[in-house]
Amino acid sequence: MDSARRLGPAQIDVLAQLAVATVLLGGIYALIAVGLTLIFGIMRVVNFAHGEFLMLGMYLAFWAFALYAVDPYVVVLVSIPVFFVVGLVAYVLVMRGVIQASHNVQIFTTVGLSVVLQNVALVAWSGDFRFVRPWHLSTVIRAGATIFNLTQVVAFLIAVALTIALVAFMKWTHAGRVMRATAQDRDAATLMGIDTDRVYRLTFAIGIAAVGAAGVLVAPLYSVYPTAGLQFVLISYVVVVLGGLGDMFGAMLGSFIVALVEVAGSYLFGTAWKEIFYFILFILVLVFRPVGLFGQRGAETLGV
């Protein structure tokens, strides 16, 4: 009856809404992955504690909102310097000691850091699910039949801006050039008089600042709890491998590809299938193009 009449436009509406869902979800993944790929690209360290810094960002948003009623969009400005310092401290206390060590040692170190941070959060703030509910939480923008969640739109825009800013920073500033030089050949960079320790410190701090800000931005969308980071970190790895470890535009595109696979898989085959699809994609990329779709040459030889 009238469902048949509606079939055409209704299907187009659904398709449009699925496209919007893909872009907005991809924006969240990109926001989280950009710091991870930066740290990997320059330092050649896979930071397994990445999700926990995201979780700390979410808690910063929660406490600022719960105690002082500060909107997450204000907190995000504060979070960048705060997490820059957190990144510096984490680098000096934990990462500096293992930066020259083998990948196995680095993996154990960052996994250890991840477990420590989860449990510190658990002891300090308990395992309760917490929520940030600013007034704009459920605000939606309607364009015809498609619906945009404002918080996700903002996350998307910031992800794009952040990626562009980081790429520009890497490409056109002296510090960026120095960072790239260090990434290409650590020993040669040292011989050229580059203080590689300083480069790594800066890289780690920028990467953590990015993920801390991401945590603040996604806090209103999801529950805040000590293992909240795990929900996203696995996907972030898929994203950065897909995009090519160390490639920031690649990470962005990888995010949209993963989001597309997830949204389309959920819609067409059921939510239970979404992980199967993006992990198949992950394996295919590793087999046929181990540097990732847009990755740096040589990344595949690092054995991580």
Binding positions for another protein, rule: CB under 8 A: 10, 14, 17-18, 21, 25, 28, 122, 126-129, 131, 133, 137-138, 140, 147, 149, 222-223, 225, 227, 230-232, 234-235, 262-264, 266-267, 270-272, 275
Closest CA to 33 of 277, 232, 284, 217: 232
C-beta of 247 vs 262, nearer to another protein: 262
Question: What is the amino acid identity at position 247?
Answer: D
∠ CA 186-192-195 to the nearest 5 degrees?
60
Residue 158 CB, shortest distance to another protein, in Å, is: 17
Min CB(157)–another protein separation in Å: 18
Which residue, 138 or 184, is less far from another protein as judged by CB?
138
CB of 238 to another protein, least distance (A): 11
53 closest CA partner among 228, 266, 272, 234: 228
Q: Which of 95, 89, 103, 115 is nearest to 44 (CA)?
A: 103
Q: Smallest distance from the beta carbon of 270 to another protein, in angstroms?
A: 5
Sequence-separated (6 or more) residues with CB below 8 Å from residue 252: 30, 34, 159, 160, 163, 243
Least Å distance, CB 46 to another protein, is 19
Closest CB to another protein among residues 129, 172: 129
H-only helix segments in the chain:
2-43, 50-68, 72-90, 103-125, 150-172, 174-184, 186-191, 196-218, 230-243, 248-268, 274-288
Closest CB to another protein among residues 165, 234: 234
* Cβ 78 vs Cβ 238: under 8 Å: no
DSSP state at residue 246: T
| Shorter beta-carbon distance to another protein: residue 21 or 46 | 21
Q: What are phi and psi of 84, to 5 degrees?
A: -60, -45
In angstroms, give the least distance from the CB of 154 to another protein.
15
For another protein, which is the closer residue by CB, 126 or 184?
126
